[in-house]
A and B are shown apart, each in its own frame.
Chain A
């Protein structure tokens, strides 16, 4: 272990796995990888309730063997093999994303080097690094030990980003547009592939009659799902809806459904950790939007937990990053299609309720939209899938032998 430490360049903290890696590719969905990831799921499952927050539990659920087998069924092509080493730059503010991106890289048959930001070193992040590192040090995972390298270094150390970029066979950049542009400028091997995930925005389409038809209990569940899609990430992740579009037969039905829905969301939001800084920022954003933004018909304020800004015109959400911490633009559609006008190449997810997902996908195709990569039911906005932003990561990070 000491000799290992000696080889780690100054300024790098090794959080799990090894620094020196074995860069030979492995077949996709290999047994050792499935064993390691499902063992991690098991470690998470055994955590005491008070140590594992919702996000950690969701990750554990995602990593369990049954789910991995579903993914294998869906995305594996027998005979496929990885590229070699993949270098992942994980996002700073989605604490557990580094585990998902690493897991997908491993399933695709690669050795993964994952750079996490110093800021990600939250309690949950440290917890996961501890669990993963612990497993990798076990005898039964000796073969995986040098195929995972979770590291942290200062973002100013371009030399390190350059080094890892030159070494890798694939680079995956999660992040804001600025990060993507900056790191894209760092050269890769000519044969290396690159996947980038720049800024995106998302929206929800709800059917008014379907909302009105719900029992109180069902409504509460829908509200909790909507809460999980948005508040859980401070509404800041790319797939968190910023705007809600109502499909309605007439204005009155639309307003009744909106009243009912938002009151239920307000109830659900009562468990949100609403800090003073969040209120300060969201109240500031509210004034910006009211004074200088979209044309608004009315606003709803349910204490400071929920702000809903009803727009008179289809809201432009492409550059809308002000809707945070429980603030939503809202639009009541005339013909049920107008949400497509809000879509740009930056639009990622459409969540829906009371509308067939296939119908919404059909509209994306018919209107030949540049944006919208996934349509999922309300409640699944943050669910990670190996196909992300329309890219099949397993396919992109592996190769097919013919």
Chain B
């Protein structure tokens, strides 16, 4: 099976045995391909004991630490085939990740996202309210993660309206007239978790204004960290939004710039779901052994979609646990899981940077 063929299936139909079979084949071929085309990656694999041509399973494909994409350029296609370079800001103050995409990979990303999201909101395009400022797309030399998320999701919007102006203020007039035209029909509301809370929920709450979004479907991602710092729980988020615009369908997703498109959507039961297009393993950091269901560890993300750069198996800096596989009450096949946070930064000893703090 090729990734193109895999995209014909799914997005949530492969059972664990079949998926393992399909993935072992796809990932083995892909690892060989990256080893052939990306010399630094090849050196790493060789030293880690990976052998070209060997049959690998999702557990045995070498894991690239996500930080490596910030430190170095990793590319498996000739420079002239790089169609765009994606960057993620990552944690503040750090160098961004640089992900090199050729046309095929960029297209796969788009189709992957489409297959996953349309299984939730339907194939039909609907009006889309983007909770961000149009400025976010104006920085064109570099493709930011927020911009990429918005552009990626824009394919689901029939008409699009940015909810915020250049100053990050809620453009109440524009939003109201947009929703009037939608006339109570389905609307996709999309944005980053923190942006929605700070620039959408809060102004609405403070002004006492109510928006008619009873038939809206809200998708948000980008991480809970900032909201956790403000002690806003998933429930507070959901309840707050229901209060200010009557929206009931509020879905979180997990995803990262290093594997754009392969997102993990929250189902009706509140579980993040792994689609047929990617896989997740939880690793125990003591020795990288695979954690069983219910045990917390560090998340490894795997996808046969990463063709133009060796990012088909990445060890992230996020923590989580598998909740189950193939048996979520929502009926979707595949693993479902929960994110529990990021690896905590700890005090590290040494005398290299003395004067800080």
Contact = CB atoms under 8 A, between A and B. Distances in A.
Interface of A: 89-95, 97, 117-119, 122, 154-155, 173-176, 178-179, 182-183, 197, 199, 233-238, 240, 274-281, 283-284, 286-288, 290-292, 296, 298-299, 303-304, 321, 324
Interface stretch (B78-86, B157-165, B344-352): B344-352
B356 interface: yes
Contacts of B343: 276-277, 280
Contacts, number: 142
A199 B285 contact: no
A304 B283 CA distance: 12
Interface stretch (B37-45, B171-179, B198-206): B37-45
B351 A236 contact: yes
Contacts of A235: 350
5 contacts: A95-B349, A276-B344, A284-B68, A287-B65, A290-B43
B272 interface: no
Contacts of B72: 288, 291-292
A236 B71 contact: no
Contacts of B350: 93-94, 233-237, 240, 324
Given A275-B346, A276-B285, A276-B343, A288 B354 contact: no
A299 B347 CA distance: 28
Nearest to A174: B354
Given A94-B351, A179-B353, 5 more contacts: A93-B349, A94-B349, A155-B355, A155-B356, A238-B351
B349 A89 contact: no
A175 B65 CA distance: 29
B350 to A, nearest CB: 2
A172 to B, nearest CB: 12
B195 interface: no
Contacts of B298: 276, 280
Nearest to B288: A304
Contacts of B44: 287, 290-291
9 interchain residue pairs of minimum CB distance: A236-B350, A175-B354, A291-B40, A303-B287, A119-B357, A284-B67, A179-B355, A91-B354, A284-B65
B169 interface: no
Contacts of A97: 351
Interface of B: 40-41, 43-44, 47-48, 64-65, 67-68, 71-72, 285-288, 298, 315, 317, 319, 343-357
Given A280-B317, A296-B47, A303-B286, A287 B64 contact: yes
Nearest to B297: A276
B65 A117 contact: no
Contact of B345 (A240, A277, A288): A277
A174 B72 CA distance: 32
B47 to A, nearest CB: 5
B349 A236 contact: yes
A118 B355 CA distance: 9
Contact of A237 (B319, B349, B356): B349
Contacts of B345: 277
A175 B355 contact: yes
Given A277-B345, A304-B288, A288 B353 contact: no
Given A119-B357, A276-B344, A237 B285 contact: no
B245 to A, nearest CB: 39
Contacts of A236: 348-352
Contact of A298 (B47, B286, B346, B348): B47
Given A287-B44, A292-B40, A89 B355 contact: yes
A296 B357 CA distance: 37
B71 A288 contact: yes
Given A92-B353, A117-B355, A304 B47 contact: no
A275 B285 CA distance: 8
Contact of A283 (B41, B47, B315, B346): B315
